[in-house]
Amino acid sequence: MAAVAVKDVSSYLASKQSEETDKDLSGEWAQLEELHNKKLWHQLTLKLETFVKHQSLQKGTNLLQLYHNFIHVFENKINPLSLVEILAHVVVQFEDKREAIEFLEKTEAKVKSSNEAVALCKVLSGQIMLEQLGDQEGTKKIIEEVEKILDDADGITAVHGRYYLLASQFYRLQGKHADYYRTALRYLGCVELSDLSISEQEQHAFFLGLAALLGEGVYNLGELLAHPVLETLKATDKAWLVDLLYAFNTGNIVLFEKMKPQWSSIADLAAQELKLRQKISLLCLMEMTFKRPATDRQLSFEEISRETRLPVNEVELLVMKALAQGLVRGAIDQVASNVHMTWVQPRVLDKQQISSMVQRLDCWCKDVNSMELLLETKAHEFLTL
């Protein structure tokens, strides 16, 4: 980066006002000077947070000039987190990205009184490393450092969203589908969908859908299916992915096989066909257990084979996998060739599954009422035994 010529604040602000042809922008420079002269640091900070986003300042080294000639003079008066938010726009104009990282590292020392500000500095460095320098090892180190800082934070901070975005981008590049699924969902939980463009929403929805299918140990798809981000796919040529997610969530193997022409067009899904079949078979077993009333959870190998479309001699292995992964609890009776299920892992339910649960609750209420009537009519007999 070329050296930035530093002027005194008054000369710099005066020159900017005289050079500016846009009257509105010239007026904003005058407001900055007035607030600085009056030492109204809070108001000046708020003004700078919007001013640095002005379109005309995004060219060349305008923001770097603003920092070195103006902000640098009173940066110790600015709220640490607000300072880093402002500098997030400034670092974009460094031609040498390693110099930008050094600048952020120096800023960390200046804002060390605020853990959030330090975390944001690290996240900004991580974004440059990942997107500009392709340094995945350095990015991984930063993600681990920021995670420790945010674990100690009270509640959700302004930095969490940016951290989850960085982490999700890193895990996607690494091909860690389960980690991507977890962090990308958390990122969407920290932002308003309306703040994202339609193309960004579609991209998040598509990548999340693939990660849900391919992620190791990801069996709770209800949270994604309930998220409005999936609505953006329904008007695109990728609408089939939403239907496929519903098929997996309900263990619908017939629909999964019927949709093979669509999902096999995605190389990552086609390459993992065996794993996808194993996953939907486990989800099918979970759904079978969920649908049964608590008093009728005896599943025969033949029933499981019919629903999962697996040979009978592979059913026992499927049940053992489900038990080992904590998806269900129960006992296998090899002699009788059946499984007695006692518990199924809780999941976020879709409307159809909730409807099924309501019906079972109605049956349970009727059973309770019947028992109550029985006790009322037979109580005398019990008491006189």
In the structure encoding, which two tokens stand for residue 269, read together?
A: 């899904």
Tens of pLDDT, residues 112-122: 999 999 999 99
Q: Is the dihedral of CA 215, 218, 219, 221 positive or negative?
A: negative
According to the model, what pLDDT value does residue 359 have? Answer: 76
Q: What pLDDT score was predicted for residue 89?
A: 97
Among residues 241, 244, 227, 344, the alpha carbon closest in space to that of 297 is found at 344
Report the range of poorest mean pLDDT among 147-156, 261-270, 366-375: 366-375
> What is the predicted pLDDT for the residue at 358?
78
- Cross-sheet strand order for the sheet of 298-300: 298-300, 338-344, 328-333
Give the sign of the dihedral formed by CA 255, CA 293, CA 351, CA 369: positive
Q: pTM (2 decimals)?
A: 0.86
- Band of pLDDT at residue 366, cut at 50, 70 and 90: confident
How many beta carbons lie within 10 A of that of residue 174, not counting itself? 13
Give the containing element (helix H, strand E) for 283: helix 273-291
Question: How much of the chain, in percent, has pLDDT values that exceed 90?
Answer: 77
Per-residue pLDDT band for 4 (boundaries 50, 70, 90) equals low
Average pLDDT over residues 319-334: 95
Residue 373 CA to its chain's centroid (Å): 51
% of the chain at pLDDT higher than 70: 96
Average pLDDT, the chain: 91
pLDDT in tens, 63-118: 999 999 999 999 999 999 999 999 999 999 999 999 999 999 999 999 999 999 99
Eight-state DSSP code of residue 75:
G
User: How deeply is 56 buried, as exposed, middle or buried, from its count of CB atoms within 10 A (0-12, 13-18, 19+)?
Assistant: exposed
CA dist 285 and 282 (Å) reads: 5
CA atoms within 13 A on the CB side of 270: 8
Beta carbons of 130 and 170 less than 8 angstroms apart: yes
Give the pLDDT confidence score for residue 2 in this predicted structure: 43
Tokens representing 122 are 């690290």
The answer, yes or no, to whether residue 3 has pLDDT greater than 50, is no
Of 232, 282, 218, 223, which is closest to residue 256 (Cα–Cα)? 282
Average pLDDT over residues 217-246: 94
pLDDT tens-place string over residues 343-363: 988 877 667 767 777 777 787
pLDDT at 385 over 60: no
DSSP label at 55?
G
Q: Is the pLDDT of residue 294 over 90?
A: no
- pLDDT of 382 reads 61
Return the DSSP state at 5: P
**Concatenated DSSP letters for 181-250?**
HHHHHHHHHHS-GGGS-HHHHHHHHHHHHHHHHH-TT----HHHHTSGGGGGGTTSTTTHHHHHHHHHHT
* pLDDT of res. 125: 98
Gyration radius from the chain CA atoms: 30
pLDDT tier, 8 (very low <50, low <70, confident <90, very high otherwise): confident
**What confidence tens digit (pLDDT) does each residue in 10-30 have?**
899 999 888 888 888 889 999
Distance CA 28, CA 52 (A): 11
Model confidence at 337, in pLDDT bands (50, 70, 90)? very high
Ranked by mean pLDDT, the top range of 121-125, 157-161, 218-222, 287-291 is: 121-125
